A and B are shown apart, each in its own frame.
Chain A
Amino acid sequence: MLTPFKKLWGMACWIWSHGNRPAKHLSIGFLTIGGFVAGVMFWGGFNTTLELTNTEEFCVSCHEMGDNVFVELKPTIHYSNRSGVRASCPDCHVPHNWTDKIARKMQASKEVWGKLFGTINTREKFLAERRRLAGHEWDRLKANNSLECRNCHSTTSMDITAQSTRAATAHQTFLFTGEKTCIDCHKGIAHELPDMTGVEGWK
């Protein structure tokens, strides 16, 4: 009964005993240079794949994203505006800094699970989960002081004289003083909102 496990164990022992011994036939030069080249290839491949999963085409390739949130994004200012500069999914939803990005990508493996088991594979299921899912993003942006907003919208470059009076007043009173962060007021700017009952600042 235990034969397959014994076989597996035997294989593991064989790999360990060979990997643990100095090379018999390969030169140190081959191993050093070969190791370097293999390392470059591995790292390059890893980053290329990582960047591939960090594109809008990748996000929208699942209908959960393409038919819900992406459709909602299109009429908003982050997709269509006077200057034609626009944000794509990862601009706002994936940290740009490498370590944070990897951390977020590891979290996102949960989303693969959701995809496999169809957690939000219909509009109804998506709407039912929307408050929770939006909450994750609000919490993330609140915790990192709206970093993904600030990657483009810097307070240093923000000319409040070019803003409307009420926007200028609000930014001076709450943003520049650090009392609030972007996401505190600007919820639902790129997607439709979930039921906002009980969310601070909403009625």
Chain B
Amino acid sequence: MRSFLISMATVIGFFALGVSAYSDGAATLRQGTPILTEPEAPKMNKVENKDVKRVRNYPEQPPTIPHKVRSYEISTNANKCLSCHARTRTGESQAPMVSVTHYMDRDNQVLATVSPRRYFCNQCHVTQVDAPPLVENEFIDVEHILKAE
């Protein structure tokens, strides 16, 4: 009897959890569409390709990519980004050089080439699309906070 009660309570608990998760908007990506209905796919936005630097929101922010990177291969074989942004390539490309921190290993020892831990550019640097934010953002630039004081 006792074990039956426990299992019943568990089942009801899971059910309640599932219902609350569903109704409190956990399934935000579906935009509230019922699970059995196929929602209409949202519009795909174009990648910005203006070649104009964007302001960083805080000093350590990895700068966003101001151009298209379609089919730019970053693999063990090749890194298309570095063919413009590597130190030795910047003369010809006039692209900004990969920051010096990327040429350092974790003991801050400067290396001749980009450190393997910094090789996959798009782990931190991403392109941007001109789209309304999916979720509200309350971030305030530190400068604004300082000015407000």
Contacts and interface: CB of A to CB of B under 8 A. Distances in A.
B83 A201 contact: yes
A192 B73 contact: yes
Residue among B76, B79, B95 having the largest count of chain A Cβ atoms under 10 Å: B79
A192 B77 contact: yes
B77 A196 contact: yes
Contacts of B94: 169
Q: Do most interface residues of chain B lie in helix, strand or loop, or is the interface mixed? A: loop
B73 A188 contact: yes
Contact of B79 (A165, A189, A194, A203): A203
A75 B70 CA distance: 10
A166 B67 contact: yes
A77 B78 contact: no
Interface in A170-198: 170, 188-189, 192-196
Contacts of A201: 83, 89, 92
A164 B113 CA distance: 29
A98 interface: no
Contact of B88 (A76, A193, A203): A203
A192 B73 CA distance: 7
Q: How large is the interface on B (under 10, 10 to 19, 20 to 34, 35 or more residues)?
A: 20 to 34
A113 interface: no
B77 A194 contact: yes
Interface in A95-110: none
Interface in B48-106: 49-51, 67-68, 70-71, 73, 75-80, 82-83, 86, 88-89, 92-95
A168 to B, nearest CB: 9
13 contacts: A75-B71, A77-B70, A165-B50, A165-B51, A166-B67, A169-B94, A192-B73, A195-B76, A195-B77, A196-B78, A202-B79, A203-B83, A203-B86
The 5 closest A-B pairs by CB, nearest first: A203-B82, A193-B78, A203-B86, A196-B78, A165-B51
